[in-house]
Amino acid sequence: MILSVLDIEFQYNSHPILQGIRFDVRAGEMVAICGMNGAGKSTLLRCLNGILTPRVGSVLLDGEDLRLLGPKGIARSVASVPQKGRDSDLTVFEVVLLGRLPHRHWGPTREDTVAVEKILETMDLSGLAHRRFSTLSGGEAQKVLLAKALAQKPKVLLLDEPTNHLDLKNQMDVMRLVQHISRRESLAVVAAIHDLNMALRFCHRLLFLRGGRIETAATPDEVTAEMVRRIYGVEVDLGRIGKTLVVVPR
């Protein structure tokens, strides 16, 4: 397993947020973290990238405790894509180049420049290389932040609501891109996702958080209407369009 989460607990002050969270993620696997607002999804991601330290339990990367790696060691193996990047006057090329920082000792090298050029070309972003990040559309900005994360050459990719505020086309473009990259690079992907239908379509497993715990874990084929009702408090119908399971609220 690339990523192993072993019974972690986290609390803000005396308020428990995560309790007894345990799961593994393999190379090339996409895992969705689902649940209502306040269930602990974003907090869990912050524990997985070392921003927050669990009060109890461990996060292991290739069997090594994240706490022993240090910030630079974590950044060489774990990359995060936030919900929305800060507006920046940096160019797209410069933003993606920031992803090379964990692998540098001094200034950017020719190797860094070539790596960024290759990523931009692979993700069809070369035409935006000299555009200011602040001028991009939501879909373009999300792809650039994904490119920056990939410049870190991570083993684990963490996504916090990757389709939030995107139109349907850009939602599909981003999720297809993540799926393709995960397969090609054998990345372990963990994504906090509100849209159940996106999770069902693109992810191998769904972990449903409720009250800071994993209420249930299921493959898309194992998800039931009762499971969704229990987590979200909403009656739904399940159907299939082709081979894909679809959730429709009543």
Element (H, E) at 17: strand 15-25
Of 200, 205, 214, 193, the residue nearest 83 (C-alpha)? 193
Whether 158 and 58 map to the same domain: the answer is yes
Coil vs helix vs strand at 40: coil
Whether 139 and 166 map to the same domain: the answer is no
Residue 164 in tokens? 């939030």
pLDDT at residue number 13: 85
Whether 25 and 90 map to the same domain: the answer is no
Whether 174 and 148 map to the same domain: the answer is no
Whether 221 and 235 map to the same domain: the answer is yes
Residue 195 belongs to domain with CATH number: 3.40.50.300
Please compute the mean of the pLDDT values over residues 29-40 and round it to a whole number. Answer: 95
Q: How confident is the model at residue 104 (pLDDT cuts 50, 70, 90)?
A: confident
pLDDT at residue number 85: 63
DSSP secondary structure of 199-235: HHHH-SEEEEEETTEEEEEE-GGG--HHHHHHHHS--
Q: 74-93 pLDDT, tens per residue?
A: 998 999 998 766 668 899 99
Whether 9 and 125 map to the same domain: the answer is no
pLDDT at residue number 138: 87
Give me the amino acid identity at 84.
K
112 or 14: whose pLDDT is higher?
112
CB 68 within 8 A of CB 56: no
Computed over every residue of the chain, the mean pLDDT equals 92
Please compute the mean of the pLDDT values over residues 176-203 and round it to a whole number. Answer: 94
Last residue of a domain, one of 128, 152, 176: 152
Whether 25 and 140 map to the same domain: the answer is no
Whether 140 and 225 map to the same domain: the answer is no
pLDDT at residue number 243: 86
Last residue of a domain, one of 105, 137, 152: 152
CB 164 within 8 A of CB 83: yes
Whether 232 and 130 map to the same domain: the answer is no
Q: What share of the chain is helix, strand, coil (3-state, %, to 5)?
A: 40, 30, 30
CA dist., res. 109 & res. 71, Å (int): 21
- 202 burial (CB, 10 Å; 0-12 / 13-18 / 19+) is buried
Domain that residue 101 falls in: 86-152
Coil vs helix vs strand at 152: coil
Whether 43 and 122 map to the same domain: the answer is no
Record the pTM.
0.93
Please compute the mean of the pLDDT values over residues 190-207 and round it to a whole number. Answer: 96
pLDDT at residue number 95: 94
Whether 109 and 22 map to the same domain: the answer is no
* In the predicted structure, residue 200 carries a pLDDT above the cut 90: yes
Coil vs helix vs strand at 31: strand
The C-alpha torsion from 142 through 144 and 150 to 152, rounded to 10°, is: -110
Of 169, 95, 167, the residue nearest 132 (C-alpha)? 95
Q: How confident is the model at residue 103 (pLDDT cuts 50, 70, 90)?
A: confident
Whether 123 and 67 map to the same domain: the answer is no
Q: 141-163 pLDDT, tens per residue?
A: 999 999 999 999 999 999 999 98
CA dist., res. 32 & res. 63, Å (int): 22
Number of domains in the chain: 2
Last residue of a domain, one of 124, 152, 180: 152
